[in-house]
Structure 1
Amino acid sequence: MFTIASIPLVEQQLAKLSPEILEKVPPLWILMLLQGLQYSILLAISILVGIGCAYRVGLSSHLIDHGVFHTAKFPSFAERF
């Protein structure tokens, strides 16, 4: 979403460049694709770090436990009360 919202800002910055430098800059769609890819990679790294640290600080997810550790079933909320 940020990639789409930043198109006017990128166009504004590209307009400030000299024609010689502007010839060397890739097209806008490539710049937006690379920006989206960068954010996706940073998000994936953040998710992996978060999952790796979650159990160390006492957090858990029944969905991840079921998918990764193959637990038998999801715990019922009725069993807790």
Structure 2
Amino acid sequence: MRALVLGVVFSAVALPCLAQTVLKSEPLVLAPYEVAFVRDASCPTGKVLKVTGAIRGLHRRKACVTLADEHASLAIATP
């Protein structure tokens, strides 16, 4: 019984952490090395903008990536 309860609790906690959401706009605040996926018009169809936060004084990294490569979900979150 304990193993069943432990398995259910672990899967409930672990599964939401595996998916990334695709935002409508780039977040204003992004921690260093934190990654956000943004649906942006500057990227071609089928790709999203991957924004990586940077430490103070440096610019954020931005690159167009496919959703399958980064395992992002198609859910759209509001910032």
Query: What TM-score range do you get, normalising by the shorter chain?
Result: 0.3 to 0.5
Q: Which has the higher helix share?
A: 1
Could you state the TM-score of these two structures normalised by the residue count of structure 1? 0.32
Q: Which has the higher strand share?
A: 2
Could you state the TM-score of these two structures normalised by the residue count of structure 2? 0.32
